[in-house]
Amino acid sequence: MDIGRSSFNMILSKGGGALLMFAAITFFARSLDSTQLGIFFLFFAVQGLLSIPADLGLRGALEKRLSEGRNPETVLGSAVAFKLVLLTIVSLGIFVSRPWLNDYLGADLAYLLIATVTLRELSLLYIHAVRGELRVGETASIEFARRLTWVTVAILLITLDFGIRGIVYGLMFGSVVAFVWAYTKCTTSIGRPSMAETKSLFVFSKYDTINSVGAEIYQWMDSAFIGFFLAAQFVSAYEIAWQITLLVIMVSKSISLTLFPQISQWNATASIDRIEETVSTAISFAVFVSIPAIIGSALYSTEILRYIFGPEYTIASLVLVILMIEKLFQSFNDVVGDSVRAIDRPDLAARATVVSVGINLVLNPVLIVSIGFVGAAIATTVSWMVNTVLHTKYLSQYITIDIPYRLVGWYAVMSVVMGGILFAVKSALPVTGLVLLVAQVGLGAAIYLVASVVIPDVRRQIVLPGLRVIGSQVDWR
pLDDT at 282: 81
Buried b (16+ CB within 10 A) or exposed e, 276-311: bebbbbbbbbbbbbbbbbbbbbbbbbbbbbbbbbbe
**What is the band of 215 on the pLDDT scale with cuts at 50, 70, 90?**
low
> Residue 474 pLDDT more than 50?
no
Give whole-number Cα distances, 126 to 86, 99, 185, 358, in Å: 16, 32, 9, 31
* Mean pLDDT, residues 145-164: 88
Q: What is the pLDDT of residue 206?
A: 65
Higher per-residue confidence, 286 vs 362: 362
Answer with the residue of higher pLDDT: 135 or 160: 160
Residue 135 pLDDT greater than 90, yes or no? no
Top mean-pLDDT range of 113-127, 235-249, 462-476: 113-127
Is a pLDDT exceeding 90 seen at residue 447? yes
Which spans in 343-404 are helix H?
A: 346-371, 374-395
- Interval 428-457 mean pLDDT: 90
Between 12 and 279, the higher pLDDT residue: 279
> What pLDDT sits at residue 296?
92
* CA pair distance 420, 132, nearest whole angstrom: 45
Contact 117, 90 (CB under 8 A): yes
Nearest Cα neighbor of 340 from 64, 54, 23, 81 is 64
Q: How many angstroms separate the CA atoms of 51 and 216, rounded?
A: 8
> Cα separation of 119 and 121, whole Å?
6
Answer whether 74's CB lies under 8 Å from 141's CB: no
Residue 102 has pLDDT above 60, yes or no: yes
Of 450 and 207, the one with more pLDDT: 450
pLDDT band at 437 (very low <50, low <70, confident <90, very high): very high
Alpha carbons 102 and 14: distance in angstroms, whole number? 32
User: Which of 37-51, 78-92, 249-263 shows the highest mean pLDDT?
Assistant: 78-92
pLDDT for the residue 421? 94
- Judged against a pLDDT cut of 50, whether residue 475 lies above it is answered with no
Q: What is the pLDDT of residue 443?
A: 94
Q: What integer pLDDT is reported at residue 408 of this predicted model?
A: 87
Q: What is the per-residue pLDDT for 175?
A: 92
**Residue 319 pLDDT:** 93
The whole-number pLDDT of residue 43 equals: 87
Q: 12 or 328, which is more confident?
A: 328
The span from the CA of 283 to the CA of 279, in Å, is 6
Are the CB atoms for 323 and 380 separated by under 8 Å?
yes
180-194, 242-256, 364-378: segment of lowest average pLDDT: 242-256
- Helices and strands, counts by H and E, the chain: 21, 0
Q: What is the pLDDT of residue 313?
A: 87
Average of pLDDT values for 411-416? 92
Q: How far is CA 462 from CA 28, 69, 453, in A?
A: 37, 33, 9
3-state secondary structure 282-335: HHHHHCCCHHHHHHHHHHHHHHHHHHHHCHHHHHHHHHHHHHHHHHHHHHHHHH
**Residue 61: pLDDT band with limits 50, 70, 90:** confident
- The rounded percent of the chain whose pLDDT value lies above 70 is 85
445 pLDDT above the threshold of 80 = yes
Average pLDDT over residues 311-332: 90
From residue 303, alpha-carbon distances to 31, 37, 197, 312, 425 in Å are 20, 20, 54, 12, 15
Q: Which of 67-76, 130-139, 424-433 has the highest average model confidence (pLDDT)? A: 424-433
454 vs 448: CA distance, rounded Å: 10
pLDDT beyond 70 at 424: yes
pLDDT at 153: 92
Comparing 269 with 9, the larger pLDDT belongs to: 269
Mean pLDDT of the chain: 82
For the chain, what percent of residues have pLDDT higher than 90? 23
Mean pLDDT along residues 152-166: 88
Average pLDDT over residues 426-442: 92
pLDDT at 207 over 70: no
DSSP code, position 187: -
CA-to-CA separations, 185 to 11, 117, 182, 442, 449, in angstroms, rounded:
20, 22, 5, 38, 37
pLDDT digits (tens, 9 = 90+) for 375-395: 999 999 999 899 999 998 988
Point out the least confidently predicted range of 34-43, 78-87, 463-472: 463-472
More confident residue, 85 or 72: 85
- Quick one: average pLDDT of 357-372? 89
Across 359-368, average pLDDT:
89
Whether residue 33 has pLDDT greater than 90: no
What's the confidence (pLDDT) of residue 476?
31
CB hemisphere CA count around 21 (13 angstroms) = 23
pLDDT-wise least confident of 36-50, 100-114, 245-259? 245-259
CA torsion angle 437 440 441 442 (round to 10): 120
